[in-house]
Structure 1
C-alpha cells in the first residue's frame, strides 16, 4: 500500500506528479514489466495506491546481497533485458521514466523484475515534444539534463547504461561524494572501465552513455544490436510479449513491508 498525505500532495507540483503516476500505472495495467496498481482510493486525510507486493525486494537489495561476488554475464543480461522491456513499453506510450535506479527495480517471488515508482515520470514526451525539468537521482541523471538541454526518452537509456555498469562493477561510473562533483564528472570526465569488464558490456555501456542523445543506443537501435552485445544465447526479445523463463534470484523477505509501501517524502 502506497500512502500519501493530502496536505503534502497539494504542496507545489506534488499533485501533478501524483496524478501523473496514477495515470501511468493505469495505462500500464497487465504489462508484465511494470509494477501493477490494483486500486486507488482516498479518505479525508490520505490517498492510497494498492500495489502488488515485491516480496523479494529490489535490485538495490540484490546488489547488496550479491557483492562482492560478481554477477554472471547471463544474469546481467536477464535483469537488463526485463528493464529494457519495461522502458520500451513506457516509451511506446510517450512516457519518460526519469528515475531508473536499483531502488526502483522491484524483484518478485518468481525472480522477475518490474519497474515501479513513477513519481518523476512524465507523460506526452517524445522526440517532437521534449521537456526540460531538472530531476532524477544524481548518479543516474543523463548528460543532457545536467547540461540544461531539452530532452526526451533517451535520458532513460543513459540511466540504463549506468545501471548495467553498476551490475558489472557494484559502483556507478560517475560516483562522487556530492552532487556537484557528480555533475562535473558527467559533463567532463571519461569513464574508467575496469580491465575485468568483458568487451560486450563495455560496448553496450559506451553506447548507452553516449553524451549526444541522437547517437545514443535506445529503442529500435538497441533492440537490433543487443545480440551483438549479449551473445549468450539465453536472451530473446520474444520476451516482449511475456516473461523470460530463466530465474536467477529469489530472496523472500518475511514480515517486511513491501518496498513500495510508503513514499517517505509525502508521509
Structure 2
C-alpha cells in the first residue's frame, strides 16, 4: 500500500472494503478492493486468489480494468480503475421518478451485454449482476465491475451451486435451491433492464419469504407502454421461469434492434475478435492444483505507463495483430464475411418482423371493430329490455301482461 494514498472508503460488502486511493507515482485515482484473508480457510483464500486470476484476464472496454494485486498484512489488495461517473443504481435514484429515454436504456443495456458476453464466452459466471455493480466512466461509458464472486467454469457443463447476491436479483432456480448457471446471470440482467425502465425493482416484498414467492411466480408489474414492443418483449424473455427458456447473451446481441447498436461501442477490429467465437482460454497456471501462489506473492504488476493515443489501446485491445500479410487477412476475412451474411439475414428478419407487426396491427384493428359492434349490439339489447320493462309497468299492476311485452324483455 506504500504506492497509494488512501482518500476515502466508498463501499463495503461481504468481500471486504472498497477504498478510493491516489497513486503517488502519477496522481491518478484508483479503487482498491481490500479483502481480509487472515481468518479465511485455505479454500476461501484460494477462491480469493482465483478472483485475481480471473480479473487479470478481463480486458474489454465495458469491463472495469484490473491494474495489479498484492498481499500485505493478512489482506489481499486488488487495484482497479476508478469510474468517476458512479454506479447505475445512483444514476437511477437521481432520476426522481423521471423515466429514461428508450435510446439511453438501450445504449446502456447493449454495453452491459457486451461485457457479459466477454465473461460468458470465457466460461465465467459473474454471479452478482446488479445496478450497484455497473459503473459509468467520466465520458458515460458503461463498465461491469466487482467480480468478487465470479468463478471460472472448468467445462461448459460444470455449474456452481453456491448462491451469493442481492435478494432482488435472485432467480427462481436459486430460490428453489437449484444450481446457479449462466442463465441465472441472464435473469439478473433482466432485473437491471427492468430497473432502468421503471426506476424500481421488478420483484419487491416486505420480507424474504414473500419476495421468494414473487420471484418463483415470475409475475411483475408491466413497464410503461410508451416503450417499444421489442423492449417489453425482451424483458418477458429474460424473466422466463425456466432457465432453458431464457436467451443466452449471444442470442440477445443477435436481435436486430440490439445488434445495430454494437458498432457504436466497439471498433471493427474488436467486433471481429469478440464475435469470432474463437475464444482462447488464457488463464495461465493459476488454476492448476500444483501451482497455487504463495501468500505475499505479487500476482500481476501494472502495465508500464504509455501515452494513450487511441481508446482501444487503453483497454489492452491489440490494434494490429501480430500476423502479417495473408495470415492477418485470412484471420479477419472469415469473421467479416460472416458479419455480412448475418447482416443480410438480419435485414430479411427485419422485413419479416415489419410484415408481422403490420398483420398484427390489422388483426388488432379488426378485433377492435368487432368489440365495438358487439358493444353496440349489447346496448341495443339493453335498450330493448328496458323498453320491455316500461311496457310491463305501464299496465298499472292490472296483472295482464302482453306476450309481446314479455318477449321484449328477453330479446
**TM-score between the two structures when normalised by the length of structure 1:** 0.81
Answering whether residue 63 of structure 2 is matched by residue 34 of structure 1, we say yes
The separation in 1 between residues aligned to 2:264 and 2:97, in whole angstroms, is: 32
* Cα pair distance change 1:125/1:137, threshold 3 Å: farther
Q: Deviations over 1:2-47 (max 9, x none)?
A: 2222324x1586424312321111110x311111111111223322
Distance 2:78 2:65 in 1: 10
Shift of 1:83: 0.5
Contact 1:106/1:114 (<8 A) preserved: yes
SS of residue in 2 equivalent to 1:3: strand
* Counterpart secondary structure, 2:82: coil
Residue 200 (structure 2) aligned to one of 166, 171, 186: 171
1:224 aligns with 2:254: yes
In structure 2, stretches of 5+ residues that fail to align are: 1-31, 272-411
Instruction: Provide the residue aligned with 1:58 in structure 2.
Output: 87
Aligned ranges for residues 103-142 of structure 1 at < 5 Å?
103-124=132-153, 127-142=156-171
Contact 1:102 1:163 in 2 (8 A): yes
Q: Which residue of 1 aligns with 2:262?
A: 236
Q: Which has the higher contact order (CA 8 A, sep 6+)?
A: 1
CA shift in 2, pair 1:38/1:66, >3 Å: same
Please name the residue that 2:111 is paired with: 82
Match for residue 282 of structure 2? none
Give distance in 1, aligned partners of 2:53 and 2:85. Answer: 26
The count of residues paired between Structure 1 and Structure 2 equals 237
Alignment of 1:93-112 (within 5 A): 93-112=122-141
Q: How does 1:238-253 map to 2 (within 5 A)?
A: 239-241=265-267
Structure 1's 179 and 12: CA in aligned 2 closer, same or farther, altered over 3 A?
A: farther
Q: CA RMSD in A?
A: 2.2
After TM superposition, give the deviation of residue 126 of structure 1 in Å. 6.1
Please point out which of 35, 38, 63 is paired with 1:4: 35
Deviations 1:145-189 (A, max 9, x none): 112222421111111111111000011111112222211111124
Q: TM-score, normalised by structure 2?
A: 0.54
Contact 1:96 1:125 in 2 (8 A): no
Question: Which structure has greater helix proportion?
Answer: 2
C-alpha distance 194-79 of structure 1, shift in aligned 2 (>3 A): closer
